[in-house]
Structure 1
């Protein structure tokens, strides 16, 4: 099953994102066979990173939650909010 991870950064935590970005990207490489899409959300300026949006495939909600809890960004306290939602892909087929 696919899951959407919608993560919102805490205000004034740009430095936390920058400091932990290499570890976050390395963590994601362990899941490349499960990644549908992944990337930062952007502010209205089209450049500043404000959060993350990921869609990954896991066996169940517990595995998705475990993935989220072990993300270096989460461990570093970057996120104000993390929402995990089951998702059904319709397009592209």
Structure 2
């Protein structure tokens, strides 16, 4: 199953994001879930204010459990995290 994960940064937390960025990137590239797309959400001036990722996992529970180890999560970067099941239609890895 595919899942879209959106993490919204706490106000004024760019320093937390930058201090944990390399560890976060290494974390999301490994593990029992497969990362397909990832990148920062930005404001109108290009300032990072959150994250958007698309994962493939066996279940939402598996993904949620795994994400507790994300360095961003551990550092308290996110004000909130939203996870939605996603039916990937256009451009999906298994589409022909």
1:30 aligns with 2:33: no
TM normalised by structure 2 equals 0.89
Structure 1 gap segments, 5+ residues each: none
1:39-92 CA distance string (max 9 Å, x none)? 1000111x2100000000000111110122111000000000000111111112
Counterpart contact for 2:9–2:79, Cα < 8 Å? yes
Structure 2 gap segments, 5+ residues each: none
Q: 1:5 corresponds to which residue?
A: 5
TM normalised by structure 1 equals 0.92
Q: CA RMSD in A?
A: 1.5
- Write the distance in 2 (CA, Å) between the matches of 1:79 and 1:19: 14
Q: 1:79 corresponds to which residue?
A: 78
Q: How many residues in Structure 1 have an aligned counterpart in Structure 2? A: 92
